[in-house]
Amino acid sequence: MKTRYLGKEKFQVSALGLGCMGMSFAYGGAETSQAINTIHAAMDMGVTFLDTAEVYGPFDNEVLVGKAIKGFRGNDSNLLIVFYVQIMPDDLVMQLHRF
């Protein structure tokens, strides 16, 4: 799996990430076991970048990803989970900047 460096700290993650929104929020969600299997399959293929957000349901996505990580038996030492999102007009410009 190719990798990229993110942010000022140059955190190394997979070039491909897994968006977790559809697992608990949009498109009718997914069965928990199917979602966990999907996360495990992605991690087995070298994905180390998981995208989730509280806006997808109060912590539903984070709990799901936590269950998947807890049960994962592979290498998760370089795993990045992105979870920050706010839907507030005043914050949109701020969210475009790196800190």
pLDDT tens-digit map of 48-99: 888 887 666 667 888 888 899 886 776 656 677 665 555 556 665 666 665 5
Full-model pTM: 0.73
pLDDT one-digit tens code per residue, 3-12 = 988 888 788 8
Q: What is the pLDDT of residue 61?
A: 81
Of the residues 5, 27, 56, 84, only one is catalytic, namely 56
Q: Look up 84 and say whether it is catalytic.
A: no
DSSP line for the chain: --EEEETTTTEEEESS-EE-HHHHTSTT---HHHHHHHHHHHHHTT--EEE--GGGSTTHHHHHHHHHHHT--S--TT-EEE------GGGTTGGGS--
More confident residue, 2 or 54: 2
Where are the chain's structural domains?
A: 3-96
More confident residue, 99 or 47: 47
